Structure 1
Amino acid sequence: MKPKHILLAGAAVLMATATAAMAQDGYRFALVPKAMNNPFFDLARDGCKAAEAEMEGIECYYIGPSEHTEQEQIQIIQDLITQGVDGIAVSPSNAPAAARALAAAKEAGIPVMTWDSDLLEEDKDIRATYVGTLNYDIGVNLAKLAQEMKPEGGNICLQSGGAAAANHNERLQGIRDTLAGTNGTEPPGERLTGQNGWTEVDGCPLFTDDDSAKAVQQLSDILNRYDDLDVFISTGAFTQWSDNAYRQAVEPYKSKLDAGELIVLVADTLPMQMQQLKDGLSHGQVGQRPYEMGYKAMEILQALAEGKEVEDPIYTGLDVCTQENADSCLQQ
């Protein structure tokens, strides 16, 4: 039998070798968006890649569905578990389904977190943290803009992403609670039926599944159907991603937009959206900070992989933009 000090020395050598190998190989962290054909998530990817360039031993593995497909996202998460990545950050398209997939990752010893969109309250113990927007506040700020521009209320149509997307349901709740002057509801809030003068028109809310063509068609249909619509609010940028299509949809109503008869408010502040705002084709944008989400996701996953505790949740803030402050509202 070898002396104990030799065994301990051998174990130390093995541990040092493993540590050196880890330092050489680094960490491979996956950033999973809802869809890769989405300019909002492109900015998160850019932040993730910036972290990769600036942080030693970090690989940002950006992978998601080519289009917004809930089942494909789940399959990608399952594949990442099989590959044995060192951490997974996901923006869940379907919160309950994502929770089941991420539970398997946690059981496999893979650190998991959410960004942009979170899990449902009952599933939040599965992930270590959430980084992104306080989504309820997006709705609150969109509603406040509507109240400022239409203080007497009016007919309103709300447009959302996926019906099972927790982030969009929280935004709907924020809009409805603020306009109705209520609290204590559950996402997506209670339909507006005249509270404080606000009434949701028949056929709304609209659900786009993060499909830009579908979102613009919905907008066109609603504007054509309701000549007396006072406010249109979209909880995501999908309505404005396709710049030419959006412009074609709203330009026939430009005189109503200019007169404040029809108010259009949209979440996010992507470059094409800010130009649309400046051109008078919307009245307000409430923007998130996706670049920061992607960057922070890599920092958080590194901390988790190293056994450190992280804050939960981590909010990245909002930018509230109108035609009046469009040149100065974005975080520098």
Structure 2
Amino acid sequence: MRKLILTTAVAFGAMMAVASGAQAKFVFALVPKNMNNPFFDQARDGCKKAEAESNGAFECMYIGPGEHGGGDEQVTIVQDLVAKGVDGIAVSPSNAAAMAGPLQAAKDAGIPVLTWDSDLLPENKELRVAYIGTHNYDIGVNLAKVAMAAKPKGGTICIQSGGAAAANHNERMQGIRDTLAGKQSAASPGDRLTGQNGWTEIDGCPLYTNDDFPVSVQQFTDTMAKNPKLDAFIPTGGFPQFIPDANRAAVEPFKDAIAKKQLALIVADTLPVQIDQMKEGLSLGQVGQRPFEMGYKTMFALKDIKEGKAPPADPTYTGLDVCTPETVDTCIGK
């Protein structure tokens, strides 16, 4: 009997060794703010392309909240990833402050972390190796420049953001406000516009969607009903355009005002579904990021870190595309 037990134990040990060998590839998690979003779909595709090109060196685990939210579910997901001992994490924090907790646990466990799309708060940046993504302040700068070209004398404006705790959207809002005001503010989300250079934010704005696309469309509809002569409406993300039929129905009544530059409707991001809507006259401009590149670069950066190679530069910016109806055929970077 003792011999049988020993034989079984040896066989089991051999099986575990084989299994361990089969799973020797790194497992890197790409964690978006939510998975019901065409922007993050592109990041997923970049991640999977990197996986395919790695020749089995790593697996891209794309995992995140199914829907929008304030970040609680995302925090739980990252906590679980740390507990499971993944080899690396690349996360776009929905709530920058709340994400510090699980990322401290990741650091304590020796799991390298990158942020992408959205970064941590300045006081928590030591918890990640680097940020790979957009210079979010510059998105705001360029959104504002398109608005200023349409409205050189300024006017009333409403800014629509993703979430009050989302560092990337706050940085974009600061870029919009600073550029329109012609003055640098101390910190994101910047100083409210109260007449600087002719620009004034209306009561009730900024708006916060928490990445809820139907809410974003309803907010636009409600705002325009109360402020039919609004000069500019600027979402810091593509939220309303990600549900094109609903957005078309909401914006269609204002196509003439947009064409005449009476309403400067300018939206962040340049996904194909959004460019199609700009071509239809439903926006005066789009300022886009490169999410595919973010998903792709984070994976190989984590591989380099795990293999003891140099980490990526911090920050590593992936560039912007500024599109207007006049430049639509050439504006997207290749």
- Superposed CA deviations along residues 109-156 of structure 1, whole A, max 9, x for unmatched, are 101110000001110011000000000000000001111110000000
CA–CA separation in structure 2 for the residues paired with 1:325 and 1:275 = 13
**Residue 10 of structure 1 aligns with which residue?**
none
Cα deviation digits, residues 49-102 of structure 1 (max 9, x gap): 000000131100000000123111011001101111000000000001111111
Match of 1:65 in 2: 65
Matches within 5 A, 1:269-308: 269-308=270-309
Cα distance, 1:215 vs. partner?
0.3
Range with bigger deviation, 181-190 or 28-37: 181-190
Shift of 1:213: 0.3
Question: Structure 1 CA distance, aligned partners of 2:152 and 2:22?
Answer: 59
Offset of residue 24 of structure 1: 6.4
Q: 1:324 aligns with which of 320, 323, 326?
A: 326
Find the counterpart in structure 1 of residue 79 from structure 2.
Answer: 78
Distance (whole Å) between structure 2 residues aligned to residue 292 and residue 58 of structure 1? 17
Q: What's the CA shift string for 1:161-194, capped at 9, x where partnerless?
A: 0100000000000000000011142100000000
Q: Give 1:138's aligned residue.
A: 139
Write out aligned runs for 1:242-257 (5 A): 242-257=243-258
Name the structure 2 match of 1:309. 310
1:179-190 counterparts in 2 under 5 A?
179-190=180-191
- Structure 1 Cα separation of the partners of residues 151 and 332 of structure 2: 24
Query: In the aligned structure 2, how far is the partner of 1:185 from the partner of 1:292?
Result: 31
Deviates more, 1:320-329 or 1:249-258: 249-258
Name structure 1 gaps, 5 residues minimum: 1-17
Aligned partners of 2:174 and 2:185 also within 8 Å? no
Any runs of at least 4 consecutive aligned residues in structure 1 with deviations exceeding 4 A, and if so which? 21-24
Within the alignment, does 1:178 sit opposite 2:179 as a pair?
yes
Does the 8 A contact of 2:185 with 2:191 survive in 1?
Answer: no
Identity, in percent, stands at 63
Alpha-carbon distance between aligned partners in 2 of 1:219 and 1:227, rounded to the nearest angstrom: 11
For residue 308 of structure 1, report the CA deviation from its aligned partner: 2.6
Name stretches of at least 5 consecutive residues in structure 2 with no aligned partner.
1-16
**Structure 1 residues 22, 129: closer, same or farther in 2, change over 3 A?**
farther
RMSD across aligned positions (CA) = 1.2
Report the CA distance between 1:23 and its aligned residue.
8.9
Give the count of matched residue pairs: 313
Distance in 1 (alpha carbons) for counterparts of 2:260 and 2:147: 15
- Find the counterpart in structure 2 of residue 210 from structure 1: 211
In structure 1, distance between residues paired with 2:255 and 2:318: 34
TM-score by length of 2: 0.92
Q: How does 1:249-268 map to 2 (within 5 A)?
A: 249-268=250-269
